[in-house]
């Protein structure tokens, strides 16, 4: 089957799974931003998702997508290196126009994967996993406040977000090219779309953690009706 036997097929699988994961990140970022404006609204979303059957189906689906994406990433990297053989050692200069993200997608992916485990430990293990075990899950906004009240967590997450930004900006437009948007006119457009869209996603995530980190030292009450989640 061409999805397994050809380089193009492997890229298609990586593209489709990658785009699905970007769609999830868009939802996750939007959900997190709710915590800035309404603690009650964020708690409602957390309770709505929780350990309900539809949330579990989505969680399992995301896990499967992630595993497929990672397996195909390593598989594609291995087959490409095997195909090049000893020739890859003969390269003395980097090809013009090859970006940092393109050259380091696997390394960036590993950093993203490690960051994901840290994130699961901080949030998923204390919310959905606890509920699955019959316990009382942590309050979402309070958990955000606690996690991002520590400077080292903020630093770790910002490094993770930066790695995600590099990984996604290249992966997004590359995935769209793979599934058909590959003419010269769309090349520049896709790059701009990917940079803008991914920057909005990662900027949203970063804004949440930075504002929560700064909240205790600032009087957010001067913004009536805004930043409820920060004030508490």
**How much is the pLDDT for 90?**
42
Sequence ranges of the domains in the chain: 2-84+119-231
Q: Which of 161, 201, 171 has the alpha carbon at shortest distance from 19?
A: 171
**The pLDDT value given to residue 231:** 55
The Cα–Cα gap between 107 and 35 comes to: 32
pLDDT, residue 143, reads 93
Contacts 24+ apart (CB under 8 A), 37-45: 37/226, 37/227, 37/228, 37/229, 38/228, 38/229, 39/141, 39/228, 39/229, 39/232, 40/228, 42/140, 42/141, 42/229, 43/139, 43/140, 43/141, 45/140
Find the mean pLDDT for residues 77-99: 55
Q: Is 201 exposed, middle or buried (0-12, 13-18, 19+ CB in 10 A)?
A: buried
Cα 10 from Cα 201, distance rounded (Å): 26
- In this prediction, residues 149-171 reach a mean pLDDT of 92
3-state secondary structure 181-198: CCCHHHHHHHHHHHHHHH
Q: What's the average model confidence in pLDDT over 136-156?
A: 92
pLDDT at 227 exceeding the cut of 80 = no
| Residue 150, pLDDT above cutoff 80 | yes
Rounded to the nearest integer, the mean pLDDT of the chain is: 82
């Amino acid at each position: 089957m061409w999805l397994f036997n050809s380089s193009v097929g492997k890229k298609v699988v990586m593209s489709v799974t990658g785009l699905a994961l970007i769609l999830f990140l868009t939802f996750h970022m939007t959900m997190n931003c709710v915590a800035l404006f309404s603690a009650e609204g964020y708690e409602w979303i957390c309770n709505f998702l929780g350990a309900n059957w539809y949330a579990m189906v989505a969680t399992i689906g995301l896990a499967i997508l992630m595993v497929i994406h990672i397996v195909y990433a390593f598989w594609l990297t291995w087959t490409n290196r095997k195909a090049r053989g000893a020739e890859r050692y003969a390269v003395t200069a980097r090809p013009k126009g090859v970006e940092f993200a393109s050259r380091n997608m696997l390394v960036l992916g590993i950093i993203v994967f490690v960051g994901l485990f840290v994130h699961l430990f901080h949030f998923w293990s204390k919310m959905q996993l606890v509920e699955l075990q019959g316990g009382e899950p942590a309050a979402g906004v309070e958990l955000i406040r606690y996690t991002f009240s520590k400077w080292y967590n903020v630093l770790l997450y910002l490094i993770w977000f930066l790695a995600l930004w590099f990984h996604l900006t290249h992966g997004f437009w590359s995935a769209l090219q793979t599934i058909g948007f590959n003419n010269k006119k769309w090349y520049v457009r896709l790059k701009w779309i990917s940079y803008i869209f991914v920057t909005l996603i990662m900027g949203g995530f970063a804004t949440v953690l930075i504002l929560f980190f700064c909240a205790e030292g600032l009087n957010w009450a001067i913004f009536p009706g805004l930043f409820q989640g920060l004030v508490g």
